[in-house]
Amino acid sequence: MKEEISRTYHALKWSSITELAAKLLLPLTNMILARILAPEAFGILATVTMVISFAEVFVESGFQKFLIQHAFADERQEAEYMSVAFWANLFFSLGIWLVLTIACEPIAALVGNEGMGILLAVTGVTIPLFGIIGIQDCKLKKHLEFKGLFYVRIFSALVPLAVTLPLALLGWDYWALIVGNIAGVVLRSLLLLFVGKFRPLLYFRFRELRYMLGFGIWTLLDGVALWLASWIDSFLIARAMSDYYLGLYKNATSMVTSLFAIVTAALAPVLFSSLSRLQDRPEDFNRLFLKVQKTLAVFLLPMGVGLWLYRDLATSILFGGQWGEASAIVGVMALSTVLRTLLISLYGDVFRAKGHFYLPFILQVFEIVLLVPACVLSVRHGFWPLVYTRALLKLDLVLPEALAVWRVCQITPKTTAKILFHSVAATAGMTLLLLLCQSVGRSAAWQIVSILLGIFFYFVLFFLFREEREGLLRPVLARFSKKTRRQNNQQ
């Protein structure tokens, strides 16, 4: 277990560095672009992304999760399965791109962007590239070699600044966003050829393909259901309203997601890979997962509440003056996204790491049964009823997920509540202080000062709990003791 924990923390270190740098660049780029491009441009991009992301669900086909989770007999068998997945991905992706290119105009009209089919056909080039990237990516993640992904993510994350921003300044409008996205995927695929250790064999057998699809079909179906749950709101806005409202909604929600992803994206790939290695050791499995859940709560809960309380200031900083209406979206989505991440999203990797690939799909179908009718009804009453309905329904799976993880891992709701209690209590105290600060004044300078006071007060409250103080000091003291013993031995 100590060796596994060591490998996990080593992977987490590089994953954290990589994702922190990459995820910081994304909001920074969007902050600049939001001041150059109108919301309509982001609305057009959203409709293109909606279609391309749906096609990518079928390209992934569930292979990557299976390849990471499955324990192979030896390196040769692993290489054979990965080669079969690579060639199948390439074949599927080229076929999907061909179909998308032929039917681009009807599909564009379906998603509310009639006459924009050329955007789908051009952007479709990324579909086969993602098919190639996926297997290279999963090879590195399976063996927790996140250091190799560092350079890939950093250089590809710089593409929007190097490509999209200059094109936007030249007046390319939505084409600047499209070309920038394509350039980022192309560069990432090229870099992975050099960094990645996987080289496909000239090998393909339907037996391996059928075996992987037997497991991967659940991930594929879950991907389709997840896509529907993620995009039903945008689809309805695109059909019923203008590109302005779609851009306003999608860019605001994407910005909130990308801010939280600065924290979560570093842990998510390491979590699934590490849990998969511990699937036959339930105590170690649960201990690792609960530690990750608790760590995320420490940072995400105060971030979510802070964005909600200071939504106007956050919107002004993130987007500029022309996005004032987005502040309500930023606030309500911040709260619901944090709670969903901690109490719903994390459990998907737990189920898959245990080999229960069907569970996320069943839960996702349950969500769709609630979500689709609610969104269809709310959009008839206007934009804002849909926004608030969608935010509320982000929490619809809290109880089903809690019951499922209790059954699969014997992690009870009481255990989860105990793990999160200190963060919740400190966040509640911070909230009271910030509300008091807001009653004193609303100037931008005072709001920034009060945010800093709130952060300081949160950690003071958090470390009032003895368990948290000891948890922080113990590794520091252990490292100091180890260093002292090493120095004494050298003397």
343 and 417 share one domain:
no
Which residues does 485 contact at the CB level (< 8 Å), separation at least 6? none
pLDDT the model gives residue 148: 58
pLDDT the model gives residue 477: 44
d(CA 364, CA 374): 15
d(CA 422, CA 342): 14
245 and 364 share one domain:
yes
Give the model's confidence band at 393: pLDDT under 50 very low, under 70 low, under 90 confident, else very high.
Answer: very high
Least confident of 43-47, 158-162, 241-245, 444-448: 158-162
391 and 441 share one domain:
no
For residue 259, pLDDT beyond 70: yes
Which among 411, 443, 475 is the end of a domain? 411
196 and 303 share one domain:
yes
Exposure string for 115-126, b = 16+ CB within 10 A, e = fewer: ebbebbbbbbeb
pLDDT in tens, 193-211: 776 666 778 888 888 888 8
d(CA 264, CA 205): 37
314 and 353 share one domain:
yes
406 and 435 share one domain:
no
d(CA 438, CA 313): 12
Radius of gyration of the chain (CA): 23
The type of residue at 52 is: I
Which among 369, 394, 411 is the end of a domain? 411
DSSP 8-state symbol, 143:
T
- Are 272 and 349 in contact by the 8 Å Cβ rule? The answer is yes
The residue to which tokens 């200071």 are assigned = 310
Question: What's the mean pLDDT in 360-365?
Answer: 87
Among the listed residues 288, 257, 286, 282, the one whose alpha carbon sits nearest the alpha carbon of residue 270: 288
What is the enclosing helix (H) or strand (E) of 101?
A: helix 75-102
Q: For residue 114, what are the CA distances in angstroms to 109, 241, 343?
A: 4, 14, 39
Among the listed residues 339, 340, 309, the one whose alpha carbon sits nearest the alpha carbon of residue 327: 309
Percent of the chain with pLDDT over 90: 24
For residue 425, pLDDT beyond 90: yes
pLDDT the model gives residue 140: 64
More confident residue, 165 or 450: 450
Least confident of 186-190, 311-315, 480-484: 480-484
pLDDT the model gives residue 421: 93
Angle at 34 between CA 251 and CA 234, to 5 degrees: 20
320 and 394 share one domain:
yes
pLDDT the model gives residue 310: 93
For residue 135, pLDDT beyond 90: no
Least confident of 197-201, 386-390, 411-415: 197-201
- Are 382 and 247 in contact by the 8 Å Cβ rule? The answer is no
Give the model's confidence band at 406: pLDDT under 50 very low, under 70 low, under 90 confident, else very high.
Answer: very high
Report the length, in residues, of the chain.
491
pLDDT in tens, 64-86: 767 776 767 777 887 788 888 88
pLDDT the model gives residue 205: 85
d(CA 423, CA 299): 8
- Give the chain's mean pLDDT: 81
Least confident of 16-30, 168-182, 226-240, 249-263: 16-30
418 and 366 share one domain:
no
pLDDT the model gives residue 481: 52
- Are 268 and 293 in contact by the 8 Å Cβ rule? The answer is no
For residue 480, pLDDT beyond 50: no
Structural domain containing residue 80: 2-411
For residue 247, pLDDT beyond 80: yes
For residue 445, pLDDT beyond 70: yes
DSSP 8-state symbol, 37:
S
Q: Helix, strand, or coil here: 64?
A: helix
More confident residue, 31 or 103: 103
Which residue blocks in 241-395 are alpha helix, DSSP H? 243-277, 282-309, 311-318, 327-340, 346-353, 358-379, 383-393
d(CA 413, CA 402): 6
220 and 146 share one domain:
yes
pLDDT the model gives residue 392: 93
More confident residue, 409 or 191: 409
481 and 367 share one domain:
no
Six-digit token string for 56 = 């990518």
pLDDT the model gives residue 149: 64
344 and 464 share one domain:
no
For residue 333, pLDDT beyond 70: yes
pLDDT the model gives residue 13: 55
Which among 364, 384, 411 is the end of a domain? 411
Among the listed residues 139, 269, 129, 127, the one whose alpha carbon sits nearest the alpha carbon of residue 190: 129
356 and 346 share one domain:
yes
d(CA 131, CA 61): 10
The residue to which tokens 């996926």 are assigned = 134
Question: What's the mean pLDDT in 444-472?
Answer: 87
- Are 47 and 116 in contact by the 8 Å Cβ rule? The answer is yes
Six-digit token string for 117 = 């089919």
Query: Given CA atoms 311, 316, 320, 322 in this order, what sign does their dihedral have?
Result: positive
Six-digit token string for 378 = 């709310």
pLDDT the model gives residue 110: 85
d(CA 343, CA 271): 15
Domain count, the chain: 2
Phi and psi angles of residue 242, each rounded to the nearest 5 degrees, phi first = -90, 170
For residue 158, pLDDT beyond 50: yes
Q: Helix, strand, or coil here: 34?
A: coil
- Cβ of 70: how many Cβ atoms within 10 Å? 16
pLDDT in tens, 114-123: 788 898 889 8
